[in-house]
A and B are shown apart, each in its own frame.
Chain A
Amino acid sequence: MNKKLLEVKNLVVEYRLGTKIMRALDNISFSIKKGEVLGIAGESGCGKSSLGLAIMRLLPRAGKISQGEILFKERNLLRLSETEMNREIRGREIAMIFQNPLHALNPVFTIETQMVDIMRFNLRYQQLNINKKNISLKDRAIELLRETGLADPEERITDYPFQFSGGMKQRVMIAMAFISNPPLLIADEPTTALDVTIEAEILALIINLVNKYKNSVLYISHDLGVISEISDRVMIIYAGKIVEMADSRSLFDDPRHPYTRALLESLPGTKTHKGRLPTIPGCVPPLDKLPKGCSFHPRCPFVEEICKKSTPEFVELAPNHWVACLREGKLGRRTKCF
């Protein structure tokens, strides 16, 4: 249980646009244990999606992993060839679900064709189901769909993607991701396009599947509420750097980084009705023009001279509560408002 499934060490991802070099991820290190859900939260453009893509080695052409290691089951994914990634990792050991299921399903084939196709060429699926040879692929696909809570899968499996609603498509995507029962599932904002009631259903579904199969999940979202509901551990990213990482409970109950604190305070509906919400002044700096020192210092209410000069180290304040802030000790406990 304590064995690290995925370990990312000093990962740096850079995008090259013309002459500009933008550091989307700067020196990211973390690990995921088996059966753990790690939530990654941050504002748009902070690099959280690049992280998921970097692990899958699916970064767009302009993006490059310029430093670091990604160890998955003690194998460095960055050393594998493209064919090895395709044959052994992607969709086999690590599966990914995206925000927009509409774009991830091919509109001209039925769900059955698409699922059976994946099974046929998935070695891991065949190894896992070696003793179930007598079950047809279609039946197995139906079984998977039923597990994701799709109503009468026997009928629906012959339908085309456009005949499904958004929530149902996301269920199909999850069923496809679980074909090979991947040890690691990367979910990139899978519920952002969905309504709250459907979102609750999908979250419950992911939690159920994880409890049952003990998969690890890397859950990327900008919605702190969703992150707090699903994650065991949470990592907050700001401008390509991890600013805080802790158990879900201790992070949301006692945030130690000014940024995390400001984010939580700006959520509406938690405190007063109709009052002014506290906001973070300014906006996220563009990645090619990051300020010197701590990248959050121009917006930080607790800024001091030292913040403008030196970059904060990532330190363990409390057991398993890591913060990258120079004033980490002085921030004091906050009066709880939730």
Chain B
Amino acid sequence: MFLVKVQGLKTYFYKGKGILSKLFGKGLRIVHAVDDISFTIGKGETFGLVGESGCGKTTAGSSLLRLVEPVEGQIFFEGKEVLKMNEREIRKFRQKVQIIFQDPVTCLDPRIIAGEIIAEPFRIHSSKITKREIEDKVIQLLEWVNLSPEDAYKYPHEFSGGQVRRIGLARALALHPKFIVADEPTSGLDVSTAAMILNLMQDLQEKFNLTYLWISHNLNVVKHVCDKIAVMYLGKIVELGKTQDVCGNLLHPYSQALFSAIPTINFKNKRKKIILKGEVPSPINLPIGCRFGSRCKYNMLICSQEEPDLIDMGGGHLVACHLLVKR
């Protein structure tokens, strides 16, 4: 039973569309932010999307909600094609799907008090609701995210980092969504605050049977909360599978490097770090063949000729690497 199914999703941005850049510039340049990704998320599952900045994980998340229009591909939500919905259907769809943004401060209007921010979804979607009902609901939402009702009339800048996250969470929960895209929900928080938010989000997931798409670069967090993990590199998924399978048996050279780089406080078995050479290639001029080829220590001839496909290594553990085909 899947809730969300993504097939061959591509989101490109176009640079240099204007007349001047056509005349003098390099012409139209395409940024391949998300380039052909497919995955499914089951009901009540937490699906982690990890990768470094610029790998397209945030774009993938906003494409799912059609905040950014994808170029190609299909997204199914509860069996319905999201990309074929019209304006009205999209508004309905957005009641069931919510997003928590990366920067908790900028996603709250600085001129509106917290109570009004949380009440906004009700005002948008139901005109019949009375003031009293809204107030009751706001107070209840605040309680769900462990804030006090007095916080309702504070402005966003009066809150601490963790509290601002809670307000964003309360607003997202207002319409009882089924699916939440959480974009870096704990970045920029202190350890103990981050732990509180993680606990809270897991509690809410249990309480409301939520499904999360968890976008993060913090691999420790992803390892802790996610049932499935997809590792992205330059717009593509290079490794995907259940958390235990992926973390226990990293197969793609990039995932190996990525996971080895996590700073740990474990003195007993300090992993040897794999330090990658060079920089991530630009998503405008993609390398031919494997996108990771230029930085990979196992680079072979075929890697610069053909792009590897995702292959099943057993139990739904998908990896895109030529090294594994050979074996």
Are chains A and B touching directly in their complex (CB below 8 angstroms)? yes
The chain B residue sitting closest to A229, CB to CB, is B263
A249 to B278, CA, bound (A): 32
B52 touches A197 (CB 8 A): yes
B191 touches A269 (CB 8 A): no
B265 within 8 A of A: yes
The chain B residue sitting closest to A197, CB to CB, is B261
A222 to B198, CA, bound (A): 18
A126 within 8 A of B: no
A277 within 8 A of B: yes
B262 touches A252 (CB 8 A): no
B196 within 8 A of A: yes
A-B contact count (CB 8 A): 117
Interface size, A (range): 35 or more
Q: What is the CB-to-nearest-CB distance from A40 to chain B, in angstroms, rounded to a whole number?
A: 14
Contact A283:B198 (CB < 8 A) given known A44-B161, A196-B262:
no
B265 touches A338 (CB 8 A): yes
- Select which of B190, B192, B224, B261 is within 8 A of A274 by beta carbon: B224
B191 touches A228 (CB 8 A): no
A283 to B159, CA, bound (A): 12
B279 touches A200 (CB 8 A): no
B258 touches A277 (CB 8 A): no
A264 to B268, CA, bound (A): 16
B273 touches A204 (CB 8 A): yes
A199 to B261, CA, bound (A): 8
A322 to B45, CA, bound (A): 45
A268 to B116, CA, bound (A): 33
B257 to chain A: which residues have CB within 8 Å? Answer: 197
B5 within 8 A of A: no
A277 to B278, CA, bound (A): 37
Q: What is the CB-to-nearest-CB distance from A39 to chain B, in angstroms, rounded to a whole number?
A: 11
- Chain B interface residue count, Cβ-Cβ cutoff 8 angstroms: 40
A201 to B261, CA, bound (A): 9
A43 touches B53 (CB 8 A): no
Within B275-299, which residues are at the interface with A (CB < 8 Å)? 275-276, 278-279
Contact A268:B262 (CB < 8 A) given known A200-B273, A262-B192:
no
The chain A residue sitting closest to B270, CB to CB, is A229
B106 within 8 A of A: no
- Select which of A43, A229, A249 is within 8 A of B191 by beta carbon: A43
B267 touches A252 (CB 8 A): yes
Within A218-256, which residues are at the interface with B (CB < 8 Å)? 222-226, 228-229, 249, 252-253
Q: List 20 additional A-B contacts (Cβ < 8 Å) besides A197-B258, A201-B276, A277-B198.
A: A43-B193, A195-B52, A196-B261, A197-B52, A229-B263, A229-B264, A263-B192, A267-B195, A268-B194, A268-B221, A269-B221, A269-B223, A269-B224, A270-B265, A277-B195, A279-B192, A279-B195, A338-B266, A338-B267, A338-B268
**Residues in chain A within 8 A of chain B (CB atoms):** 43-44, 151, 165-168, 195-201, 203-204, 222-226, 228-229, 249, 252-253, 262-264, 266-270, 273-274, 276-280, 283, 338
